[in-house]
Chains A and B, each alone.
Chain A
């Protein structure tokens, strides 16, 4: 059973556009929601993370929006660049326990 559901599976965005990736979860005990970025041939790397006590977190062009009541969170990439082309994974965890990853979204930003 997939603890974290992620969509879309793939996304193509024009340079300068906004990329939006969505995730949903069921376990209300989750209290840590990171996003990981993975380039081909590399391991995933933490991009940005949020806790449920805030509804939004922004770091540069990357923003997480969090809706606790809907049990959903999303990643927004503003002014998307070709260098952002990668696979993005959302994840969730309870305390210091292991992360449950979404299935990934392959983002392609075309010039």
Chain B
């Protein structure tokens, strides 16, 4: 398996622009997680899905952030409008929805908002 695939790997954009991050989970996994990592705040869970349904989005910082999972093999995280404080590495992870199952992380998208 290719593992969790994220695109783009790097994104540089200007404040106010829309940013869309993409994730393809490992085939067969039914849980998907979006994380944000910064030096100041560490690794933060933004939202997670079970069977394509959002379960907990309490970590989404504000209404500028939205996430969708239209099918089992694709998810997007959108920021509109983007702000410089959104600059971070965004990780997608997937797992089987069973107790103790390992979360497999993608390589991340490094976002820089100027």
Interface residues in chain A, defined as those with a beta carbon under 8 Å from any beta carbon in chain B: 31-32, 34, 36, 41-46, 49, 51, 89, 93, 95-96, 98-104
Contact = CB atoms under 8 A, between A and B. Distances in A.
Interface string B31-43: 1010000000011
Contacts of B33: 98
Contacts, number: 50
A51 B100 contact: yes
Interface of B: 4, 31, 33, 42-43, 45, 48, 56, 91, 93, 97-108
Given A32-B99, A96-B97, 15 more contacts: A42-B107, A42-B108, A43-B93, A43-B106, A45-B104, A46-B102, A46-B103, A49-B100, A95-B99, A96-B31, A96-B100, A96-B101, A99-B45, A100-B45, A102-B42
B103 A99 contact: yes
5 contacts: A41-B107, A45-B104, A46-B104, A96-B98, A98-B56
